[in-house]
């Protein structure tokens, strides 16, 4: 399932109308109908009953609605988190407008190569036109809500993990490939509960007690510190690591604000970032 389907479902559920939901989402009614039908196929259940008087949720639809609303709230929380990062930098450098984009590794690389972004933080890549500065290595960690039995004993085998409802994020990402690799090495097909399109949404689903997840360690530090999530050791499997790097295009003149951002990264991660041609603004 994807969030487009979830948005359509929630709007139809609230408005009790496919046409009104289409208006609210700025879509055509056939598009909303197609999204609902695709979601019903994914879930294997009918979510609405259509009759002459309108639309009524089925029992299964009513049961699914609170989870769908949580998923949309998690997405909004993720957007607010990114906005918080933007405000942190602009507070240090007032007057600088910051635009943050996210995407898969290849998409992010193309943003930098096509000058759609000054720089990027992503997995280490090798490209003739790109400068790559390794910053840190990030582990995948298993996280669970505090009340989960894994959290109580702080450990589980990979076989036990495979039997629990697992929440994944972004099927096409390199992180997802690493996660699947862990289970494949042990001949396990994990019990996937749902797939979200962002890490932030995945964390929220785990916090709500809907399942467990394997996530990049750096993305869970705040929630762990606040006690919203608990790391769980996978006792008989080695968790993969991924190197995260700063990348930017060779020979591109960088504005002073970007150079200042590089200085912050250099100080934070104790690395040396070579100076390129400087721009005046």
Question: Are 252 and 262 a contacting pair, CB within 8 Å?
Answer: no
Q: What phi and psi values does residue 137 have, to the nearest 5 degrees?
A: -105, 130
What does the DSSP 8-state code read for residue 187? T
Q: What is the pLDDT of residue 24?
A: 87
CA gap 151, 145 in Å, rounded: 7
Q: What phi and psi values does residue 118 have, to the nearest 5 degrees?
A: -70, -35
CA gap 58, 66 in Å, rounded: 14
Q: What is the pLDDT of residue 90?
A: 66
Q: What is the pLDDT of residue 9?
A: 93
CA gap 146, 87 in Å, rounded: 31
Q: What is the pLDDT of residue 198?
A: 80
Q: Residue 178: enclosing H or E segment and its boundaries?
A: helix 174-185
- For 28-64, write each residue's pLDDT tens digit: 899 899 999 999 988 889 999 987 677 889 999 999 9
Alpha helices (H) along the chain: 3-15, 18-25, 29-43, 59-92, 105-113, 149-153, 158-163, 174-185, 199-207, 221-226, 256-269
Q: What is the pLDDT of residue 131?
A: 94
| Measured CA distances, 175 to 50, 123, 163, 168, 190 (Å) | 40, 10, 20, 10, 15
Q: What is the pLDDT of residue 114?
A: 93
Q: 239-267 b/e with 16+ CB inside 10 Å = b?
A: bbebebbbbbbeebebeebbeebbeeeee
Q: Which residues of the chain fall short of a pLDDT of 70?
A: 1, 52, 82-87, 89-90, 92-93, 276-281
Give me the torsion for CA of 249, 255, 256, 260, rounded to 10°.
-40
Q: What is the pLDDT of residue 277?
A: 53
CA gap 232, 229 in Å, rounded: 10
Q: What is the pLDDT of residue 251?
A: 85
Q: What is the pLDDT of residue 281?
A: 42
Q: What is the pLDDT of residue 155?
A: 94
Is residue 192 helix, strand or coil? strand
């Amino acid at each position: 399932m994807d969030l487009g389907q979830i948005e359509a479902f929630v709007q139809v559920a609230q408005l009790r109308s496919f046409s009104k939901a289409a208006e609210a989402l700025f879509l055509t009614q056939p598009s909303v109908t197609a999204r609902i039908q695709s979601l019903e196929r994914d879930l294997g259940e009918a979510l609405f009953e259509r009759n002459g008087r309108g639309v009524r949720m089925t029992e299964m639809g009513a049961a699914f609605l609170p989870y769908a609303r949580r998923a949309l709230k998690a997405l909004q929380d993720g957007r607010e988190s990114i906005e918080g990062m933007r405000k942190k930098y602009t507070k240090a450098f007032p007057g600088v407008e910051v635009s943050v984009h996210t995407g898969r590794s290849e998409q992010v690389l193309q943003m930098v190569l096509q000058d759609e972004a000054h720089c990027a933080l992503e997995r280490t890549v090798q490209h003739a036109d790109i400068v790559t500065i390794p910053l840190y290595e990030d582990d995948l960690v298993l996280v669970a809500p505090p009340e989960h039995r894994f959290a109580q004993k702080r450990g589980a085998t990979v076989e036990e993990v495979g039997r629990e409802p697992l929440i994944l994020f972004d099927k096409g990402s390199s992180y997802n490939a690493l996660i699947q690799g862990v289970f494949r090495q042990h001949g396990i097909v994990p019990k996937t509960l749902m797939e979200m399109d962002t890490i932030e949404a995945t964390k929220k689903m785990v916090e709500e007690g809907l399942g467990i997840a394997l996530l990049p360690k750096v993305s869970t530090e705040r929630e762990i510190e606040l006690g919203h999530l608990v790391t769980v050791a996978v006792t008989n499997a080695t968790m993969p690591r991924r190197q995260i790097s700063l990348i930017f295009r060779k020979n591109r003149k960088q504005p002073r604000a970007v150079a200042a951002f590089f200085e912050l990264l250099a100080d934070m991660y104790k690395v040396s970032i070579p100076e390129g041609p400087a721009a005046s603004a």
